[in-house]
Amino acid sequence: MMFQVNFDPEMLRQIIREELTAILEEQANPYYDLPPLLTRNELKQLLRIGDTKAAELLGREDFPVFREAGVLIPTDLLFRWIVQHTTWIDHNSPNAPLVYKLMRQVPT
């Protein structure tokens, strides 16, 4: 008995397309759902911190806060600040994606 395989390139493309779509949906960036400016409470919820830690962060000179309209935190600057102040990546993941290392070099 001989085994025969019929190769259908269009069927393969469809399978790959479906799998890639599933992966992209799984790994969808939840940050896109965040508002451009976070309130103090949204910051606390996002970082899972309490009032004391939030006050400590908001009191830092290097922490991105927009105070002209109350206490608002620019979401994009928050994530950039986190990357720039996280040494865990350097110590524990030397093969981390280059994007993390490049983000650390971008001035705020």
Count CB-CB contacts under 10 A for residue 45. Answer: 11
Q: Is 50 exposed, middle or buried (0-12, 13-18, 19+ CB in 10 A)?
A: exposed
pLDDT tens-place string over residues 35-62: 999 999 999 998 899 999 999 999 999 9
- The residue type of 60 is R
pTM: 0.59
pLDDT values of the chain reduced to their tens digit, one per residue, 108 residues: 778 878 788 888 888 888 888 877 766 666 667 899 999 999 999 889 999 999 999 999 999 999 998 999 999 999 889 888 877 666 666 666 555 555 555 554
pLDDT computed for residue 15 by the predictor? 87
pLDDT computed for residue 24 by the predictor? 74
